[in-house]
Each structure stands twice: as structure tokens, then as C-alpha cells.
Amino acid sequence: MTLAGVGWWRDNLLTYSYKRANNRNRATLLFNLRDSTMIKVFGHLSPDTDSTGSPLIWAWYLSQVRQTPAEAVLLGKPNTEATFVLDHWGFEQPQIMTSLAAGTSVVIVDTNNPAELPDGINDADIRAIIDHHKLVGGLETKGPIDITMRPLACTATIMHDLIGKHMADAPRGIKGMMLSCILSDTLGFRSPTTTPTDRDVAHALADDLGIEIGTLAAQMFAAKSDVSAFSEAELLRMDAKKFTVGDKILRISVLETTAPDQILSRKEALVDAIPGVAAADGADDVMLFIIDILNEEATLILQNELIKTIAEKSFGVAVIGDTVVLPGVMSRKKQIIPVLTL
């Protein structure tokens, strides 16, 4: 079965395969490229739901609406929530890209930080950036490009506006993926990064799809919380971003969960794994925040004096013991990174 609108690109440059499995809509872009202009669309390393779903959304838009061949790729294994969302909406996992050849045409989504992108990113042909994070700097392009950065909670919310009237033609899976990205990044509208626009787009998509937001969010967060199959090192890297605090390079790791006790029960093993992860990733240390989605608070593990000092100076807390609870802290982007100091 082929979808309408593939047109000339389908007949001359690529083959579009549309699959059905288990009576669900499984849409997979499988391109047999006869041309070197295929655009790679990807997000950041350690892909979460937004960095997994937004590449799929934008690759669909470029290929089906703009008639420009594109494919979504990932920069690592998606987390458990993202894996659930892929399966729920009928997508196969995009290919994991392990290297980036010079001159490759790319669109970057959900980040603009070179530290979260492949080595050699500045040798690629960056065509566009779509993001909702602060401007970091350090990317170089071969010419003027389209850059869309907005103070919204989710990249998919931005894409909803950019796609505009063509959302009416989007397959159910694309609309569902967009909704899931928004629910993930807003933590079901609990995150302080949530804007009225994020909320309005999510409700409009849910109405269109005929689903109940609370039910989908609960399923997603349950999947996110099941980390039993991951090693301590994998947990520390699952949702981690590198930042400099004072003269220290830190990996700021966040684990969002509805079952924080499951992670805290592994605290000693996590602490033991931190030095090896930090050394392997070129960091001085790791700050691990366990975000309790339901109670809307974060627990920071205090494995040494450096992290205790940063916690006291950044959050104004009195440190006693090897953890500290930070009420109301839900967002790395808005409530953690901006206040870190040493």
C-alpha cells in the first residue's frame, strides 16, 4: 500500500514501504536511495521521546509534503518510554547512526548543542535546526539556513505550527507521535516548561485522535519507569547532558519516574558506577536527579563533597546525608541548569 503524495520522488529516487501488522498502522520509511541528497533528521544523543519522535515527524513532512527525501535516524538507543511510544503508534525504530560522513545533508531537531551531536557535525551540510532549548553556540553551517527556536516545552509543538494546514493530511501515527512527544516533555503538563500552546496543541491532537490524554500519559510514564533491564551505567547515561559548572565538566543526568523507590534502591550501585561513567565520558563528575513525576519533586544523589557543595550553593539547601529532596523541581532545562553554581 502506498500513500498519496509521494509523487516524483517515489518513482525516481526512493521506494516508500507502508506496512500493516497486527491490525495496526505501521508506517516505516524505507528508502532505497539512488541519489545522495537524502536528508538525515536527528535529535540529540541519548534520545528521549521528543528526540525519537520529532525526527520521524519532520522526515514525514519533508518527504510527503515538501517532496524532499528524508529519513529519521537516532543517535543512540531510545529510552523505554520512547520505545513504548514507537510501538504504540506503529513505528519501527529508526536506524541508529554511528557516524556522520562529511557533507551529509542534515536537519537537527530538539537540540543545538554540539556536545549532544555526532563528531564532525560542523563538516555536515546542516539545512535547518528546530529546537526549544537555549542557544548554546558552536555549530557552523555552509550557508544561511532555516532556524526555528521557540520558548515552548516540546519540539513537536513547534513542528505542529510549522506543518500548519498539512497536519490535516498527517497519518494517525504522526499525530499520535506528536501528542506523545508533548506529553513526555511536559510530564503530562506538570513541568514548569509547559506553555498554553503546548497544552492547546496536545488537546487538539487528542480530540482528533479520539483518545484520553490521562490514559496515554499513564501508559507512557509506566514504560519510562521500568528501568529494571538497564545497568547502572546505562541509567546514568539514559538522559544525560554535559554542562560546565565553574571549572568542572558535569554530566547532568535526569531519570523521570513514577516509581522513584525502584531507582533509589540501587543508589549504592549507582554511586559506584559514577566515577567510571564520568571518566569514560570526559566529565569530572555526574549529578543524578531522580524526578518523581507524581509528587513533583526531585531527589539529588550526593555522592561526594563536590556535589554537596554544588547542591548547597545552587538550591539553597542544607545538606544532610547522601540525598536531598528538591520540592517542585521537575525540569532540567528551566530549574536545574540555570541555577547550577560552584
Sequential pLDDT tens for the chain (342 residues):
233 333 333 333 333 333 333 334 444 334 334 334 789 999 999 899 999 999 999 999 999 999 999 999 999 999 999 999 999 999 999 999 999 999 999 999 999 999 899 999 999 999 999 999 999 999 999 999 999 999 999 999 999 999 999 999 999 999 999 999 999 999 999 999 999 999 999 999 999 999 999 999 999 999 999 898 899 999 999 888 888 999 999 999 999 999 999 999 999 999 999 999 999 999 999 999 999 999 999 999 999 999 999 999 999 998 989 999 999 999 998 999 999 999
Amino acid sitting at position 180: S
* Block residue for cell numbers 526555528: 148
Reported as half-sphere exposure (CB side, CA atoms, 13 A), residue 176 has a value of: 22
**Structural domains in the chain, sorted by start:** 7-221 (3.90.1640.10), 232-339 (3.10.310.20)
Contacts of residue 168, Cβ cutoff 8 Å, sequence gap at least 6: none
Separation of alpha carbons 285 and 74, rounded Å: 26
Instruction: Note the pTM of the prediction, 2 decimals.
Output: 0.81
Q: Is 159 helix (H, G, I), strand (E, B) or coil?
A: helix
Separation of alpha carbons 55 and 78, rounded Å: 13
- Torsion from C-alpha of 154, 68, 90, 22, nearest 10 degrees: 170
- Own/partner contacts of 159-166, CB < 8 Å, gap of 24 or more, are 159/54, 159/57, 159/58, 159/61, 159/130, 160/201, 160/205, 162/61, 162/130, 163/57, 163/61, 163/65, 166/61, 166/65
**Phi and psi dihedrals of 283, rounded to 5?**
-120, 160
Contacts of residue 118, Cβ cutoff 8 Å, sequence gap at least 6: 75, 97, 99, 100, 124
* Grid cell for residue 37: 541528497
Amino acid sitting at position 272: D
DSSP 191: S
How big, in percent rounded to 5, are the helix, strand and coil portions of the chain?
Answer: 40, 20, 40
Separation of alpha carbons 239 and 127, rounded Å: 26
C-beta separation of 81 from 184 below 8 A: yes
DSSP 265: T
Contacts of residue 151, Cβ cutoff 8 Å, sequence gap at least 6: 132, 195
